[in-house]
C-alpha cells in the first residue's frame, strides 16, 4: 500500500512541489488516502514495534506539518492546484472530508507515541475551521459535502476532552439540511462561484441534495437515501452525538435510520448501496445482485455505525449481529488474502466478467480504510458498560486491556476456535476477576450455545441472545457449534425471488467458477430443495494463506445446453472468492421448480 502511495504521487504531494503544467496533479482526496494509511500505521505500531514503519510514519508527519499554512489550513489540492479557492465548493471539494481523516490520523499518532507533534497542528487546523464556519456574523453556514469530519471531531472530543470539538461537531450535524431564508447552502456557494448547482446523481423525483443526506434535517428523515459511504459516516457521527449528549430525539432518528439501513436496504452480506449510478441506496428492498455497487467503504462505515449503536445499547444484540455479519463478509471480501489487492465494489453475482482484485485505484479510499479498520479490530470485541459489565460481542482470540470505574485497568484474554469452529475461553488476570460481570452474546448461526462457570452450565440465564453472569473462578468457557443453513430472501426483494443462499456461522457462502469447472454458467444452478449441505475442511485450495476453511457441497440440478443433470456444487465463504484466479461468483441460487428444464 505504501509503495502504491509513492508510485502514484500521493506520498510526495504533501511536499507541495507540484506546479501548474506538471503531470499528475494532486487530487482533492489524496490527503485523506495518506491520512488513513498513517492512522492504520500508528495503530499497528501500538501493537508491535516496527522501526521501518515508524520511520515512514515520521516522514508522513513531517510532510503534513510542513504543508500547514500559517493560519492552520492543510490541503494539498487547494494549495497547489486551485490556490485561492478554499471553501468555495464544500458540496464536492472534499476539503472537510480530508480534514477529518487528517484529524483521525493525528489522534491515532497521539495514542501511538504519546506525542502532540501531529495533534497540535491538527488542532490548530480545527480551530481555523471553527473560525470559518458557523451561524455567527461573518461565518459560512456550510457543512461537509462528504461527511467525515463530524465523526472525527467526536472521536477527538472523547479522546482528549476538548469540548470545542463537540460544539463544532454539533453545529455541522444540526445545520445539515436546515432550511434557510437565503436558500440551501450548496446552492448559495454554487451561485457565488458563478456555476449551476450540482445536487449529484439521484433517482428521478428525489429531493435535491438527498445524495448528500442534506435535503432535510436528520430528525425529519424517515428513510436513508443517497450516497452510502457519506450516509454511514454521517450516521456514525449522529449516533455518537446522541450518545454523548443523551439527546433522545437524535437517538430516535439514529434508530429509525438504522432500521431503514439494515432492515430494508442491506444485502445479506452486510453490503450497502444497490444503485451504482450514485453509489448508494435505492428504494426499499431493491437489492440487485449483478449491478449492485456495495462499496467496501460503505461496509466499513456500517461497522462504525453499528459500533456506536452498540455503545448506546450493548444488550441489543442486533447491533453486534450486523457488525459481525458485515465484518466477515462485506468488509473482508474487499481485500485479498495476502493483503495486497482490493475490491472497490462487491456485487453478489457476476456473469462472464472474470473478476480479480486491483492493486490500486484512481480513487483509492477503500484500501487504507480496510487497513485502519483491521488495525483497530480489538475495540469491537469487548466493551465496558457503565456498571463495569464486560460485554463480549465478537469471539476473536485476543488480549485486551480494558478500563473500568476508578480508572482501573484489567487484562482480559480470550482464546477462540474461530473463525470456522465455535467455542472460547475467557480469563481475567488479577485479583478482581471473580467480581467481574460478563454479558456474552450468542453469535450468528451458533447452535447449542452454552456458558460454563467453574464447570457449571449457566446457559439457562440466556435472555435476548445474551448470557449474563459473574466470573466466579477466573475462567468462563463458552461452547457453541456451527452448521450450514439455508436462508430465504425477504419476500419483497424480487431480485432473489425463488432463490436461497447459504450461511455457516457469520459467513455467507457463494458458488465460484474455479470450484465448479463443470458448470459453464453459474446461472444454470438450481438447488434441490430439502437436501442438507455437506461440510468439508478444505486443506489444499487455500493452504498458501494458511487457511483450511469449511466448504459446502450442495445438491443441484444443472440446466445447460438443453440438458438437465444432477450435480454437486461447491460453495466457499464469499470473503475468499477471487483469490486463486479470475472468476465469477453467485450468492443467491435459484431453487429447482417442479418440471423445470424438462420441456
Residue 551, phi-psi category: left (phi > 0), alpha (psi -120 to 50), beta (remainder): beta
Is CATH 1.50.10.20 correct for 217-382? yes
Alpha-carbon span 447 to 505, nearest angstrom: 9
Alpha-carbon span 589 to 185, nearest angstrom: 47
Alpha-carbon span 237 to 244, nearest angstrom: 11
Q: H or E stretch including 231?
A: helix 228-245
Alpha-carbon span 558 to 592, nearest angstrom: 10
- In order of 104, 230, 269, 377, 400, the CA distances from 323 in angstroms are 21, 18, 11, 11, 19
The pLDDT of residue 433: 63
- β partners of residue 470: 437
Neighbour count for residue 589 (Cβ, 10 Å): 26
**Per-domain boundaries in the chain:** 1-176, 217-382, 395-442+447-481, 485-590
pTM: 0.97
Contacts of 254 (CB under 8 A, 6+ apart): 235, 238, 239, 242, 309, 312
Instruction: Tell me the three cell numbers of residue 79.
Output: 494549495
The pLDDT of residue 459: 74
Instruction: Tell me the three cell numbers of residue 543.
Output: 493452504
pLDDT tens for 203-258 read 999 999 999 999 999 999 999 999 999 999 999 999 999 999 999 999 999 999 99
Alpha-carbon span 538 to 322, nearest angstrom: 27
Mean pLDDT of 405-415: 90
Size of the chain in residues: 599
Q: Please say if the pLDDT value at position 418 is more than 80.
A: no
Q: Please say if the pLDDT value at position 598 is more than 60.
A: no
Give the β-pairing of 475-481 and 424-429.
antiparallel
Peptide bond into 274 cis (omega under 30): no
Alpha-carbon span 227 to 297, nearest angstrom: 11
SS3 letters for 290-349? CCCCCCHHHHHHHHHHHHHHHHHCCCCHHHHHHHHHHHHHHHHHHECCCCCCECCCCCCE
Q: H or E stretch including 456?
A: strand 456-457
pLDDT tens for 268-316 read 999 999 999 999 999 999 999 999 999 999 999 999 999 999 999 999 9
Q: Please say if the pLDDT value at position 118 is more than 80.
A: yes
SS3 letters for 391-445? EECCCCCEEEEEECHHHCEEEEEEEECCCCCCCEEEEEECCCHHHCEEEEECCCC
Residue-wise burial string across 551-573, b where 16 or more C-beta atoms lie within 10 A, e elsewhere: bbbbbbbbbbeeeeeeeebbbbb
CB-hemisphere CA count at 13 Å for 450? Answer: 9
Instruction: Tell me the three cell numbers of residue 301.
Output: 462505515
Q: Please say if the pLDDT value at position 430 is more than 80.
A: no
Contacts 24+ apart (CB under 8 A), 514-518: 514/580, 514/581, 514/583, 515/541, 515/551, 515/570, 515/571, 515/572, 516/569, 516/570, 518/558, 518/567
Percent of the chain exceeding pLDDT 90 equals 90
Contacts of 100 (CB under 8 A, 6+ apart): 32, 144, 148, 149, 150, 151, 152, 153
- In order of 213, 219, 562, the CA distances from 251 in angstroms are 17, 9, 56
pLDDT tens for 333-380 read 999 999 999 999 999 999 998 999 999 999 999 999 999 999 999 999
The pLDDT of residue 597: 61
Q: What is the DSSP string of 517-544?
A: TT-S-GGGEEEPTTPPPEEEE--STTGG
Alpha-carbon span 586 to 300, nearest angstrom: 22
Do 510 and 579 contact (CB within 8 A), yes or no? Answer: no
Is CATH 1.50.10.20 correct for 1-176? yes
Q: Please say if the pLDDT value at position 139 is more than 80.
A: yes
The answer to whether domain 1-176 and domain 217-382 are alike in fold is: yes
Amino acid at each position: 500500500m505504501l509503495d502504491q502511495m509513492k508510485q502514484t504521487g500521493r506520498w510526495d504531494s504533501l511536499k507541495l512541489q507540484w506546479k501548474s503544467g506538471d503531470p499528475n496533479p494532486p487530487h482533492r482526496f489524496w490527503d485523506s488516502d495518506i491520512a488513513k494509511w498513517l492512522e492504520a500505521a500508528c495503530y499497528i505500531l501500538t501493537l508491535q514495534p516496527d522501526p521501518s514503519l515508524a520511520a515512514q510514519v515520521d516522514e508522513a508527519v513531517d510532510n503534513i506539518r510542513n504543508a500547514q499554512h500559517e493560519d492552520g489550513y492543510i490541503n494539498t489540492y487547494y494549495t497547489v492546484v486551485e490556490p485561492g479557492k478554499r471553501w468555495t465548493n464544500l458540496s464536492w471539494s472534499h476539503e472537510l472530508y480530508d480534514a477529518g481523516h487528517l484529524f483521525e490520523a493525528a489522534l491515532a499518532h497521539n495514542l501511538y507515541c504519546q506525542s502532540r507533534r501531529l495533534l497540535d497542528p491538527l488542532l490548530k487546523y480545527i480551530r481555523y475551521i471553527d473560525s470559518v464556519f458557523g451561524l455567527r456574523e461573518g461565518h459560512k453556514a456550510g457543512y461537509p459535502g462528504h461527511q467525515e469530519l463530524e465523526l472525527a471531531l467526536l472521536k477527538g472530543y472523547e479522546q482528549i476532552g476538548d469540548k470545542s470539538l463537540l460544539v463544532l461537531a454539533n453545529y455541522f450535524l444540526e445545520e445539515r439540511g436546515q432550511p434557510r431564508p437565503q436558500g440551501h447552502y450548496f446552492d448559495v456557494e454554487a451561485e457565488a462561484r458563478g456555476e449551476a448547482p450540482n445536487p449529484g446523481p439521484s433517482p428521478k423525483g428525489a429531493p435535491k441534495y438527498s445524495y448528500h443526506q442534506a435535503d432535510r434535517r436528520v430528525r425529519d428523515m424517515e428513510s436513508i437515501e443517497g450516497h452510502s459511504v457519506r450516509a454511514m459516516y454521517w450516521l456514525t457521527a449522529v449516533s455518537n452525538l446522541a450518545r454523548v449528549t443523551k439527546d433522545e430525539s437524535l437517538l430516535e432518528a439514529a434508530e429509525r435510520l438504522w432500521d431503514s439501513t439494515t432492515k430494508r436496504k442491506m444485502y445479506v452480506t452486510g453490503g450497502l448501496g444497490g444503485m451504482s449510478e450514485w453509489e448508494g441506496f435505492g428504494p426499499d428492498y431493491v437489492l440487485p445482485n449483478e449491478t449492485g455497487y456495495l462499496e467496501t467503504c460503505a461496509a466499513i462505515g456500517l461497522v462504525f455505525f453499528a459500533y456506536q449503536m452498540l455503545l448506546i445499547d450493548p444488550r441489543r444484540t442486533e447491533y453486534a449481529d450486523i457488525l459481525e455479519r458485515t465484518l466477515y463478509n462485506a468488509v473482508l471480501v474487499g481485500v485479498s488474502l495476502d493483503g495486497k489487492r482490493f475490491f472497490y465494489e462487491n456485487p453478489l453475482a457476476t456473469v462472464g466478467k472474470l473478476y480479480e482484485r486491483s492493486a490500486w485505484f484512481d480513487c483509492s479510499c477503500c484500501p487504507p480504510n480496510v487497513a485502519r479498520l483491521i488495525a483497530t479490530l480489538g475495540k469491537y470485541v469487548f466493551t465496558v458498560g457503565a456498571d463495569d459489565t464486560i460485554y463480549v460481542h465478537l469471539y476473536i482470540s485476543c488480549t485486551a486491556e480494558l478500563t473500568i470505574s476508578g480508572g482501573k485497568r484489567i487484562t482480559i484474554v480470550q482464546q477462540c476456535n474461530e473463525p470456522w469452529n465455535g467455542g472460547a475461553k475467557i480469563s481475567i488476570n488479577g485479583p478482581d476477576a471473580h467480581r467481574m460481570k460478563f454479558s456474552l452474546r450468542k453469535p450468528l448461526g451458533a447452535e447449542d450455545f452454552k456458558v460454563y462457570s467453574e464447570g457449571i452450565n449457566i446457559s439457562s440465564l440466556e435472555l435476548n441472545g445474551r448470557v449474563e453472569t459473574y466470573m466466579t473462578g477466573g475462567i468462563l468457557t463458552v461452547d457453541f457449534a456451527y452448521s450450514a443453513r439455508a436462508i430465504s430472501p425477504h419476500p419483497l426483494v424480487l431480485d432473489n425471488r425463488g432463490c436461497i443462499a447459504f450461511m455457516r456461522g457469520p459467513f455467507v457462502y457463494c458458488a465460484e467458477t474455479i470450484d465448479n469447472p463443470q458448470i459453464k454458467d453459474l446461472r444454470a444452478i438450481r438447488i434441490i430443495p430439502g437436501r442438507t449441505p455437506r461440510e468439508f475442511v478444505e486443506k489444499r485450495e487455500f493452504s498458501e494463506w494458511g487457511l483450511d476453511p469449511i466448504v459446502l457441497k450442495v445438491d443441484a440440478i444443472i440446466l445447460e445446453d438443453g440438458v438437465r443433470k444432477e450435480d454437486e456444487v461447491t460453495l466457499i465463504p464469499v470473503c475468499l472468492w477471487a483469490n486463486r484466479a479470475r472468476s465469477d461468483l453467485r450468492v443467491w441460487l435459484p431453487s429447482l421448480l417442479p418440471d423445470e428444464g424438462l420441456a
